[in-house]
Structure 1
């Protein structure tokens, strides 16, 4: 037994001398799922990500000491992977009771959008929606697993066509495969411009639901490194108090994150 311990000690010393990796020295890993959602999150053609949540987590990574791994996935797939514990964290989420069952939302919200949920239609179709009731009998493209406003999300009478992303929804509308699309006005306007889609063919309908939209980071409830999780939660609170969070979201033209 003594000889085995001695050999083990010598092996570890040699690893350290030659700068070879030792498993016990690795930082804990956090897998962050992101989807392409301009102007706040981007995934390029090489599946490399950028955006607010990465800026925030990379800054926290320096202070807390963990290894951030980024995985790109369509939004519905990201949620499913978080629910199953295949990824640890997501960003830009609207909080609702269903998500709270499998996600641990981190306070404070880092995105505050004073925007509206709006509906787009093709100009040539002359569709009018001036009230909520006029949404009935319309084929509405909705990003699967997305959260909007309570009345709409819980309305089982509407004809909702589920799609994988807002881009797919807009593409279907432009091809006249659905009647209307629901989206957050601020992000949709930017996305249409960024994705070079035919905005001139679309019109915003009169009915809209205006609200303050909060976007949160959240951890899968299957993530079990509570020490790291609690440190991240504390850092988010510290960043709110010392103004760091406001500085990190400023390049994205988002309002200050005040207490």
Structure 2
């Protein structure tokens, strides 16, 4: 009887391990309030959003913080499952799948207040643009823009460099910038009507994740540019990653995402 009880406990433990699901989100060490606090604090809109979606499909969320370049390597190797906000590029398409996370992003340019207003990327010619190492440089395709790259650029460090005129421009999400200015008022920063239009924010999901089963995309078209929706591979509908994708869509449709945004951007 004791042997049978012991066997049952072992079987239950193994079954739980097989069914347990803990997805790992990777992010750089610097803060991006209100999306995520500075390492080691993981709290913010990203954590609340993904934790809610994962809870709905019986999963938990673990957060790993490291320099972005290292996180990208971990994504490529399948050691990290997802990156919460990731711009699409052909290079990243090699090891990531992209889908919407329910948030919106509107990339704008900012500079010192003395800088003349620009309306497109080409207006940065012969100027210095601050970027993070490992960041997606799209839509920066123009020659003549001097890139100054730094590790894990925070909005605070970007503002300091702009105000001291050590760089000329910085690109970031408008809501993120305005949130920072609300907490740290300044009249030394200019917004420029450049360089994008509002669009859904994407997350990057590792193709080597144990939760991602990859299948050929039957709707892929060689006649169209590669994009998050026009890639050669997609998630299998039976994968846990696909369930996560659908859970994010559901909490957007039912208003949960809007409530989270109102709470964190208040």
TM over 0.5: yes
The equivalent residue for 2:144 is 157
* Higher mean C-alpha deviation, range 79-88 or range 244-253: 244-253
Once the two structures are TM-superposed, the CA of residue 65 in structure 1 deviates from its matched residue by 1.8
The equivalent residue for 1:130 is 118
The equivalent residue for 2:234 is none
1:22-62 CA-partner distances (Å, limit 9, x unpaired): 35423122111134211222235xx1212223222222332
- Alignment of 1:61 with 2:54, yes or no, is yes
Once the two structures are TM-superposed, the CA of residue 245 in structure 1 deviates from its matched residue by 3.8
Summarize the Cα distance change of 1:58–1:134 in structure 2 as closer, same or farther, 3 Å threshold.
closer
Q: How many Å separate the matches in 1 of 2:25 and 2:70? A: 13
1:54-85 CA-partner distances (Å, limit 9, x unpaired): 22222233232223211123444433322232
Summarize the Cα distance change of 1:245–1:190 in structure 2 as closer, same or farther, 3 Å threshold.
closer
The equivalent residue for 1:231 is 243
The equivalent residue for 2:104 is 112
Once the two structures are TM-superposed, the CA of residue 156 in structure 1 deviates from its matched residue by 4.1
Bigger Rg, which one:
1
Alignment check: 8 A CA contact 2:115 2:190 kept: no
Q: How many Å separate the matches in 2 of 1:56 and 1:131? A: 33
Count of matched residue positions in the alignment of Structure 1 and Structure 2: 233
Once the two structures are TM-superposed, the CA of residue 88 in structure 1 deviates from its matched residue by 0.7
Q: Can you give the 5+ residue segments of structure 2 that lack an aligned partner in the other structure?
A: 214-238
Alignment check: 8 A CA contact 1:117 1:184 kept: yes
1:178-223 CA-partner distances (Å, limit 9, x unpaired): 23323333212323454x4x834x2316552241132123311111
Structure with higher strand content: 1
Q: Can you give the 5+ residue segments of structure 1 that lack an aligned partner in the other structure?
A: 1-5, 255-259
Structure with higher helix content: 1
Q: Calculate the TM-score normalised by the size of structure 1.
A: 0.73
Q: How many Å separate the matches in 1 of 2:87 and 2:59? A: 26
Q: Calculate the TM-score normalised by the size of structure 2.
A: 0.71
The equivalent residue for 1:72 is 65
Alignment check: 8 A CA contact 2:102 2:201 kept: yes
Q: How many Å separate the matches in 1 of 2:192 and 2:60? A: 47
The equivalent residue for 2:202 is 216
The equivalent residue for 1:3 is none
Q: How many Å separate the matches in 1 of 2:261 and 2:189? A: 30
